[in-house]
Amino acid sequence: MSRYDRQQRTRGGQQLDERWRQLRILLVGCGGVGTPLAQSLVGSGIGFLTILDGDRVRETDLHRQTLFQDRDAQQSVAKATAALRSLERIGGRTRIEALPDMLTPANAASLFCRHDVILDATDHIPARLLIDRTALATGVGWIHSAAISDRWVAASFLPPGSPCYHCWVPEPPQPDSIGSCESEGVLPVACLAAATAVLRLLTSYLRSRTRSDGAENTRTIIRGSVAAGETIVTLPTDPDCRYCSGGKIESSRLRSADRVHLRKLCGAGSIETWLDLDFDEIEVRLGRLGKSLDICRGSVSLRAEDENGALICYHDGRALITGNHGQKIENARTLVSHWLGEDALARY
């Protein structure tokens, strides 16, 4: 019997488990919300988890950060390292990578392009804004989460057509103007509730990808407190938002209105284009090229890579060409023709 039998037995569980197995997650921040999240993601067997956290374990983390122990705090071990040690003891099919680093403008785009969904579990506003900017530039979806005192929140910004963080919070607060775990404290229940809310949004997203009405799951805010319980609202869209124009990354708008064929994405070092092929056809065509390519088909994206960069394809037809291949539009056009054929680029 499969280790994952009990989740495969749920309604639609076989299909969900398969998507779960292919899912590649980047977890930014492995603290009060990130540790129970990572524990559950590895326990339930996602395909690949990268943990990014530049902080070290402290004694005051231990009451809520479920992957850490006394000796991690005594030895001031990097959270990413301690989390990896703990998660590897769970076993199972998940491949785990731990990076004891911060998210920076230099590493963000390349990290995003290697994953299907980004989970923001940092309590750091500049990091959240960087996640939002990079998500807009690369088209990779993300879920925000936070907990403080006895309150929690989770919000999904998932393609296609999701508004951005600025649509929800037009003027993000200054880092010093809001409370922190140091000033207000935080209860374990708030962290666990935030982690649960993220898992709920993620599960709903993976389930909805077969349903035409799934878009509503891509823009949801779950907010709660111990006293008041939880409320769920739809993420507002600001049509005048100067960052996303109210969901500018929506595929249908780009395809019909902007008629973009190949365009350079600012900040991301990559070229965006549109393909007229589904994943099965892409896999067949890439397969003809032999073993020179590393091909990885995930639940959200299909990635083909050689030593000069990668082609990352999404279900809605969008594709990114990164690395040296993505430095110039002409390089990207040649790559697509060579790897997938002259007829692969979408026609308008």
Q: Which one among 38, 49, 164, 202 touches Zn ion, defined by CB under 5 A?
A: 164
Rounded least distance, CB 26 to Zn ion, Å: 21
Residue 131 within binding range of Zn ion, rule CB under 5 A = no
Two structure tokens written together for 227: 């006293």
C-alpha triplet 233, 237, 240: angle, nearest 5°: 155
Q: Which one among 166, 303, 318, 325 touches Zn ion, defined by CB under 5 A?
A: 166
161/309 with CB nearer Zn ion: 161
Rounded least distance, CB 136 to Zn ion, Å: 8
Q: What is the largest CA-CA distance in the chain?
A: 61
Q: Name which of 139, 149, 136, 81 is nearest 113 in CA terms.
A: 139
235/275 with CB nearer Zn ion: 235
Binding mask 222-241 for Zn ion (x = CB under 5 A): -------------------x
Rounded least distance, CB 92 to Zn ion, Å: 38
Rounded least distance, CB 43 to Zn ion, Å: 34
Residue 137 within binding range of Zn ion, rule CB under 5 A = no
CA 171 from chain center: how many Å? 23
Binding range to Zn ion, per CB under 5 A, among 114-122, 161-169, 172-180, 255-263:
161-169
3-state SS assignment for residue 90: coil
Two structure tokens written together for 113: 């392009």
Query: What is the rounded distance in angstroms from the CA atom of residue 74 to the CA atom of residue 57?
Result: 8
Query: What is the rounded distance in angstroms from the CA atom of residue 306 to the CA atom of residue 159?
Result: 26
Site for Zn ion, residues 238 to 267, rule: CB under 5 A: 241, 243-244
Rounded least distance, CB 243 to Zn ion, Å: 5
77/167 with CB nearer Zn ion: 167
Helix (H) or strand (E) holding 174: none
Mark out the alpha helices in the chain (DSSP H runs): 5-8, 13-22, 34-43, 70-74, 79-88, 108-113, 125-138, 165-168, 181-184, 188-208, 251-253, 279-287, 329-340
Nearest to Zn ion by Cβ — which residue? 241
Task: With CB under 5 A as the rule, give the number of residues binding Zn ion.
Answer: 7
Q: What is the dihedral of CA 299, 319, 200, 161, to 10 degrees?
A: -150
Residue 190 within binding range of Zn ion, rule CB under 5 A = no
Residue 25 within binding range of Zn ion, rule CB under 5 A = no
Rounded least distance, CB 74 to Zn ion, Å: 44
Binding site for Zn ion (CB under 5 A): 163-164, 166-167, 241, 243-244
